[in-house]
Homo-oligomer: A and B are copies of this chain.
């Protein structure tokens, strides 16, 4: 697909670098923008520039924010003694949406992955340790993906903390609400039996 216009070609090329957008859908989006009022494109561009120029990491939990300290860390209503360790901001959003967590977060910025060459040094693990050593932390809740990388990272953090007087918990693994038992994989089913909880009739 050879585009005659250098400007369209350049915009398509740049937009197609986003994950999940190929050249065809990038061109479709560019033509869509050309049909709209130019202010829409200007707004999009300035929002993107504003983003990369002004977004920082929260000094406490390392979540993306434009403030020195994010809204959750700065909120006195949140339990600062309970830290939930997550991979990135999407997990923070997902957990916040449940409305069930009143503690604070620590964003690792990834998971330990020898396959992808990501070691503990590239994550915010040192900052987490420092946070634990300097503050009065009661509990660390590990809320990482149920993958090999998530398990490796869980184990790494657990090993670092096991001698400290801190409770280390992980989110429960088990059968998803609404799932048929017969379609659950064996490992999940096995874990849900191992970690069975007392039935309280509610």
Contacts and interface: CB of A to CB of B under 8 A. Distances in A.
Interface of A: 1-8, 10-11, 13-15, 17-21, 25, 27-34, 38, 40-55, 63-66, 70-72, 88-90, 92-93, 96-97
Q: Give this chain's copy count.
A: 2
Contacts of A40: 14, 17
A41 B89 CA distance: 19
Contact of A11 (B7, B47, B65): B47
Contacts of A7: 47, 50-51, 54-55, 66
Contact of A52 (B13, B42, B70): B42
B64 A11 contact: no
Given A18-B29, A38-B53, 12 more contacts: A2-B93, A3-B93, A4-B92, A5-B65, A7-B54, A10-B50, A14-B47, A14-B48, A17-B40, A27-B90, A41-B48, A41-B49
